[in-house]
Chain A
């Protein structure tokens, strides 16, 4: 576990978050501290320990495949920043 190669620009890009230069510097320093702290977990021997994703004693929760009521199209589009012809409008994706 090394955080020396923590590249704030690379990770912010993966997260789709634009940062100002001064934010980059501040967040990189704070995240470096936090990653240094979580190194604590290296102290523990976790050989053979099962990972835990959640605490619920349930798995494969299924329901019957039936048509259920859903919200109407107008309601689904009502909060859209930009819409036309019953669709969400986005910038051009392919040339």
Chain B
């Protein structure tokens, strides 16, 4: 069946003219019709627009367009509900944006279109990317394809669920504290968070601007490399995008791990990791050794301060970024007698509870009298966390850790205790604080129920190429990425 192909497998068939882009797009739509009432990954789909894009690609293919020039020619790729696509809605799974439609295409959208992708669907997420389960979506949660009673992770949970359920050939999400890697781990797919500055964020609704990064969720590492290559690069519209060269990530895949030094951060391997996750992780480390990697224990002494630092820095930035949702220029407005009550009413009714919680926390840590004690101190601890990474990367090429301490949890399990929900991000957060790159890929399953387990590799800044090489070598030596959820 067409929908079972990887992105790379599909491009081979498109290039050989064995299938058309319309057939590929239709295969996704048929699959969505068959399974998405169970998975609930999609917020909406503009089917006519998607098929129209596919027809345009087929016309270009007929005129001789090639995948050498446009590596994603004809490939259906879905987008998290925070990318601006001209003329299409973007809601960030929030009520506050109302019937907003984007007046322009963001840079990632433009680059994917230039590479020939067929962009479709708005994937469900935690409201404004705040959450680890999609339970904070104002439009209902998505379900984990491996066990519908469980969450797919978050905040890019719709992206991960759709890739795992084979409803698209790849999906683009964002990662502020693990929002690509954690759902990828929980759904058994590959999720890559590039280095801060690697991919432009112009036209991406901001959550925490010093942490947010755009990245792909895919069925395997090669697909991840293909999508990253299409999106990466400097953009004059985003002053935080870095003007360094973009390597050919796909061409550089291959090879074994001989001579590769992997660091095992001892502070990550603490009590509280689920025994099955720990066993799968230990086996993955052994597998890397078999493939030629040298394993070195490293120390990252500030690991335990990552979550506290993150929830000060991220909420402070969010309180500033989300000030724009005020009911004046766009989105839903709830009237008031004066502008002040209009703001309060609009934001009180438009934002969900987690978003309110984080804006209020962020406002507090920035407020007069508390700035030094909370925000400034957190920025200093952030420096210490970054130094941990710099020191580790003096001796090793990449770090190897579990992505999350446990497999997917049941819906509702952590909703009453936000702090417990935050603590489940402990292994993914420090990578965003340090601004480096990370990837999660499948490394096994729990036994009963059968749920995916994620392996995380953290690389040097702008070291995506080496990170993908290591991930690819491990993946190709193991069967995990070929397993599919039964729906």
Known contacts A41-B381, A44-B381, A49-B384; decide if A18 and B345 are in contact (CB<8 Å). Answer: yes
Q: Which residues in A have their C-beta under 8 angstroms from that of B381?
A: 41, 44, 46, 49
Q: Nearest 10 A-B pairs (CB), nearest first?
A: A55-B435, A18-B348, A51-B379, A79-B330, A81-B333, A54-B210, A61-B239, A18-B344, A46-B380, A16-B343
Q: Tell me the A54-95 residues at the B interface (CB within 8 Å).
A: 54-58, 61, 63, 71, 75-76, 78-82, 88, 90-93
Q: Does B284 contact A (CB under 8 A)?
A: no
Q: Is the CB of A79 within 8 A of B384?
A: no
Contact A38 B312 (CB under 8 A): yes
Are B239 and A50 in contact, with the CB atoms below 8 A?
Answer: no
Q: How far is the CB of B211 from chain A (nearest CB, A)?
A: 8
Q: A77 CA to B242 CA in the complex, in Å?
A: 32
Chain A interface (Cβ < 8 Å from any Cβ of B): 1, 6, 8, 11-19, 23, 27, 30-31, 33-35, 37-38, 40-42, 44, 46, 49-58, 61, 63, 71, 75-76, 78-82, 88, 90-93
Q: Contacts A11-B363, A12-B360, A44-B381 given: A88-B308 contact, CB under 8 Å?
A: no
Chain A residue with the shortest CB-CB distance to B343: A16
Interface residues of B in 96-123 (CB under 8 A from A): 98, 100-101, 103-104
A residues in contact with B357, CB < 8 Å: 27, 30-31
The A-B contact count (CB < 8 A) is 172
- Whole-angstrom distance between the alpha carbons of A23 and B347 in the complex? 14
| Contact between A58 and B240, CB atoms less than 8 A apart | yes
**Neighbouring B residues of A75 by C-beta, 8 Å:** 103
Selected from B328, B364, B433, the residue in CB contact (under 8 A) with A11 is B364
- Identify 17 new A-B residue pairs, CB closer than 8 A, beyond the known A11-B367, A34-B419, A44-B302: A8-B360, A14-B367, A15-B360, A16-B344, A16-B347, A17-B360, A19-B348, A30-B357, A34-B422, A38-B378, A42-B377, A54-B240, A55-B436, A71-B104, A81-B327, A88-B328, A90-B339
Nearest neighbor of B381 in chain A, beta-carbon distance: A41
Query: Could you name 26 residue pairs across A and B whose Cβ atoms are closer than 8 Å?
Result: A11-B360, A11-B367, A15-B347, A16-B323, A17-B360, A19-B348, A34-B361, A35-B361, A37-B307, A38-B378, A40-B305, A41-B305, A41-B309, A51-B382, A51-B383, A52-B380, A52-B382, A54-B196, A54-B209, A55-B461, A56-B240, A58-B240, A71-B104, A79-B331, A81-B327, A92-B338
